[in-house]
């Protein structure tokens, strides 16, 4: 089963969460063979917007998207795991990106892309400006997400 882990973010504070998860997973010895054989692709994107559709065009049977979210509903570090269709139109999830994951997935669905194979991991963040540092709560949650995804990935 071809699988993609895509860390989404920007170089600013808590918004680096998706990148940190992807980078940490890419360094896990347990995943070396899966990456080398092309079964697992781990990548990062800087605020992909509609470029997310390019990843969806590839022949992945499972896609994990990881990004910081700001819902104002929970504390920093809260982890959300949702299927793609669950986040489409969810107005409580804000993105620091010009065109976030939710509208990009909504467009993908309208265009006929299969989005049933997408699992979104959002980590509640609060800091996303260039003058801020990543929060300790975000770093703790990044570690948790890495462990949970590693457990899923070693089974493919």
Q: Each residue of 68-85: pLDDT tens digit?
A: 988 888 999 999 998 887
Where is pLDDT greater, at 61 or 97?
61
Q: Is the pTM of this model over 0.85?
A: yes
CA distance linking residue 65 with residue 4, whole number of Å: 8
Residue 103: how many CA atoms within 13 Å on its side-chain side? 13
Q: How confident is the model at residue 112 (pLDDT cuts 50, 70, 90)?
A: confident
Q: Which two three-digit tokens encode residue 121? A: 């991991």
Q: Each residue of 1-52: pLDDT tens digit?
A: 899 999 999 999 999 999 999 999 999 999 999 999 999 999 999 876 667 8
Residue-averaged pLDDT of the chain? 88
Q: Which two three-digit tokens encode residue 139? A: 């770093």
State the maximum Cα–Cα separation within the chain, in Å, rounded to a whole number: 41
The pLDDT value recorded for residue 90 is 56
CA distance linking residue 39 with residue 115, whole number of Å: 19
């Amino acid at each position: 089963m071809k699988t993609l882990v895509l860390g989404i973010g920007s170089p600013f504070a808590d918004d680096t969460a998706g990148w940190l998860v992807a980078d940490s997973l890419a360094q896990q010895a347990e995943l070396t063979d899966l990456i080398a054989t092309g079964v697992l692709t781990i990548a990062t994107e800087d605020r992909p917007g509609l470029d997310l559709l390019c990843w969806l065009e590839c022949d992945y049977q499972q896609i994990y998207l990881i990004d910081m979210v700001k819902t104002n509903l929970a504390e920093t570090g809260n982890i959300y795991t949702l299927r793609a269709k669950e986040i489409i139109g969810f107005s409580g999830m804000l993105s620091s990106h010009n065109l976030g994951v939710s509208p990009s997935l909504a467009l993908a669905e309208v265009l006929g892309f299969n989005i049933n194979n997408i699992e979104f991991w959002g980590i509640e963040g609060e800091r996303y400006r260039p003058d801020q540092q990543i929060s300790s709560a975000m770093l703790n949650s990044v570690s948790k997400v890495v462990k949970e995804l590693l457990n899923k990935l070693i089974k493919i």
